Structure 1
Amino acid sequence: MKLEPLSEKRFKRHLLLFSLTMTLLVVAGSTVYFQYEKRLTFENKSRAMSVIAGMKAEQLVQWNKERLSEVSFFSTSEPQLRYVYPLLSGDVSVETALRKSLSHIMSDKRYENIVLLRTDARLVFSVKPSFCQIDKQTVADVQTVNKTKTIVHREFYSCANHGEVRNYYLAPVMRPDSIVLGVLMFQLNPEDYFYPLLTTWPQPTKTGETLLMRRSGDHVEYLSPLREQVDTATLAHPDQVKEGHVAWQILQGEEGIFEGRDYRGVNVLADIRPITDTDWYLITKTDKAELYEQLHKIQVFITMISAFLLMLLWVSLAWLYKVRQQKMYKELVAKNLALKRSQEEFAATLYSIGDGVITTDDRGHLVRLNSAAEKMTGWLEKEAIGLPIETIFTLVNEETNAPEPNPVRLILVDDPPQRVSHAALLVTKKGKQCPITLNCAPI
């Protein structure tokens, strides 16, 4: 027996629709929340990186200003000039005193060496015996100092003597009447202060790195050591400049927060900013994998919570469906029992009636035949059940003996079915005819 099939189908459809809607809401909610956390993480990390980059950039600018100020002061200071003038005149007796005076200036690795040159770039004096050789560029810089009477700064060149990167400042030594007598060279080793400043990071980091770069034609030069390259003393590292790389941004003159790839081809979050009064670019970067490392933990947590909620939802819906099915099953059993009792009562009434009673299903096949009907038709109920009504119940006209339409069929084809009542001759199983009065009605 089917119990309210349309209602049951509707319930299943509504239950499925509700479960899918809630699933989509949970998935969409977790996705939106994760994107919010990702955006918040990006903003916080970008802000922190900008602070770090700004601090380092200010330190570099301040470092440059301090060196220029010191070079200007020491090249015009009376305590040094009283030894420099005699040396330029050929008096070597003051070398020891000048070396002692300049050694104080070189303390704390402020300068690697201080050298006195003539206006033609010939060596006069060096605090340390070992110093970078005078190359063509140095000679040209000395000539520039002679002409302009200003300080010249040479940045990040490869020393022919050491094979390492060096910087120097050239300052004119002038008489009171502004005639240039010689040039003081203040040599610096970037590894003594410059590079440690770049590599220092205010907080623990696995991939954080600060680089100093500059444009050089159609490529860029790395002015500082690379964290993941062995040859860190090399001056220029031409980058395979491609769109989406940090170097590409520098060639385009871009600055600020940038998401792209670095010299390793790794995705990074970088802060790009020019250094005032130089052609340098400071790049402060961190691998995005490290930046979002904490976010991955949040993502795992969100996924676990979402999975738990979905599991709870589907288990609850399955339990609800099971409870409903059990309730419907109990109702069905109760109705079947009631129907069975009703059928038993109907059968008892049917079989106790003195008139012949025949019942069929909606297809016209025999269902019941009481004992009076068995005697009238000549058929036993057990052999007649399931046979078409025409086989059991055949009528002919009592006057013409012509076949009569079967009243059961008339009722089954009528819409709505009508009651049939008249007299006729019944043809028994053995072919005999007996007059009957029949009443046929739908149940």
Structure 2
Amino acid sequence: MEQIAAWRRERLGDGRLLNANRLLLAGFRDWLNGTADPTVRGDLMAIFEALQRNYGYRDYLLIDASGQVRLQSGAPSAVALEAEAQAALAEVRRSREPRLTELHTDTAYPYPHLSLVVPLFQGEVPAGALILVMDARQTLYPLLQTWPVPSATAEALLVRRDGDDVLFLNEVRHQPGSALQLRLPLTRTDLPPVQAMLGITGVVAGRDYRGEAVLAAVLPVPDSPWFLSAKMDRRELYAGVWREAILAGSGLLALLALAGALLALA
């Protein structure tokens, strides 16, 4: 959980650094106002490309006060502003703070992604925004793919509430192509992520999206609508090394060790 929370903080920190760089902001505003020196475009593109290389941003878009894309990388399909970005733009103009959009897909980026939206102001007047797009498959999801002990069934699931459902944000181990597609009703109170949304956190027992009995650690990701669930099938608990521990009379220790492993990942 801390890794995911730290990743979000770092991205918002990138936005605050950009927002606090007065020379950079002046270049943005001059470009948007049409008063920039001819070399400014090249300078801005060099800065953006450095962000892409060093911080893993997929694309960048410089937006003017009317919401039009004035400078961008990537394919022309990336020019049209998506609904998520439009909503984030409205929010950052009110808050004057960078914001991360939700994970989503759209026609321009038909894979899971999210964007960092950084507001640009000229005094008290909104001048535009910088949008930095991140491919979740390359930036966020790798943080969910490590496991502290060998396991055939363990996995980490990132979820959020979406209406009356729990929406799975990353691809689950046993259903390829499930990221942002798999959703289950909140009435499934046997699901560990649903239990977390009901305020039951820590190590819990329940059933997963396949209906398999699992032991899971579930925690909210701070300062986000996300929850992290790290789970393992209970049948695996009674097999292999876990079964040996139970037969040796140290079943409680084995359970505690597994709970610690789950919490370590979550």
**Deviation larger for 161-170 or 140-149:** 140-149
8 Å CA contact 1:76, 1:173 repeated in 2: no
TM-superposed deviation, 1:119: 1.6
CA distance in 2, matches of 1:128, 1:182: 20
Q: Determine helix, strand or coil for the equivalent of 1:220.
A: strand
TM-aligned CA distance change 1:248 to 1:145, over 3 Å: closer
Task: Determine the structure 1 residue equivalent to 2:258.
Answer: none
Task: Determine the structure 2 residue equivalent to 1:164.
Answer: 111
Which of 8, 15, 20 is the matching residue for 1:71? 15
> Does the alignment pair 1:272 with 2:218?
yes
TM-aligned CA distance change 1:196 to 1:123, over 3 Å: same
TM-aligned CA distance change 1:59 to 1:217, over 3 Å: same
Which of 69, 75, 79 is the matching residue for 1:123? 69
CA distance in 2, matches of 1:269, 1:221: 20
Measured against aligned partners, the alpha-carbon deviations of 1:154-209 in whole angstroms (never above 9, x if no partner) come to 1112222122221112111123x232211111211111121000111233222110
Task: Determine the structure 1 residue equivalent to 2:182.
Answer: 237
Task: Determine the structure 2 residue equivalent to 1:85.
Answer: 29
> Does the alignment pair 1:202 with 2:156?
no
Measured against aligned partners, the alpha-carbon deviations of 1:324-359 in whole angstroms (never above 9, x if no partner) come to xxxxxxxxxxxxxxxxxxxxxxxxxxxxxxxxxxxx
TM-aligned CA distance change 1:248 to 1:151, over 3 Å: closer
**Deviation larger for 263-272 or 201-210:** 201-210
Which of 113, 118, 125 is the matching residue for 2:59? 113
Question: One-letter code of the match for 2:213?
Answer: N
TM-superposed deviation, 1:83: 2.8
TM-aligned CA distance change 1:115 to 1:289, over 3 Å: same
> Does the alignment pair 1:211 with 2:211?
no
Stretches of structure 1 that go unaligned for 5 or more consecutive residues are: 1-56, 303-443
Measured against aligned partners, the alpha-carbon deviations of 1:4-57 in whole angstroms (never above 9, x if no partner) come to xxxxxxxxxxxxxxxxxxxxxxxxxxxxxxxxxxxxxxxxxxxxxxxxxxxxx1
Question: One-letter code of the match for 1:219?
Answer: D
Q: How does 1:292-371 map to 2 (within 5 A)?
A: 292-293=238-239, 294-297=241-244
TM-aligned CA distance change 1:300 to 1:101, over 3 Å: closer
TM-superposed deviation, 1:251: 4.1
Q: Determine helix, strand or coil for the equivalent of 1:134.
A: coil
Aligned length: 244
Which structure has greater helix proportion?
1
TM-score, normalising length: structure 1: 0.51
Q: Determine helix, strand or coil for the equivalent of 1:147.
A: helix
CA distance in 2, matches of 1:300, 1:183: 61
8 Å CA contact 2:84, 2:102 repeated in 1: no
TM-superposed deviation, 1:220: 0.5
Measured against aligned partners, the alpha-carbon deviations of 1:55-112 in whole angstroms (never above 9, x if no partner) come to xx11111111111111111133144234312210224832222111221122245211
CA distance in 2, matches of 1:251, 1:151: 26
TM-aligned CA distance change 1:155 to 1:85, over 3 Å: same
TM-aligned CA distance change 1:223 to 1:92, over 3 Å: farther
CA distance in 2, matches of 1:273, 1:182: 36
TM-superposed deviation, 1:295: 4.2
TM-superposed deviation, 1:213: 0.8
8 Å CA contact 2:84, 2:101 repeated in 1: no
State the percentage of identical aligned residues.
25
Which structure has greater strand proportion?
2
CA distance in 1, matches of 2:79, 2:154: 33
Task: Determine the structure 2 residue equivalent to 1:183.
Answer: 129
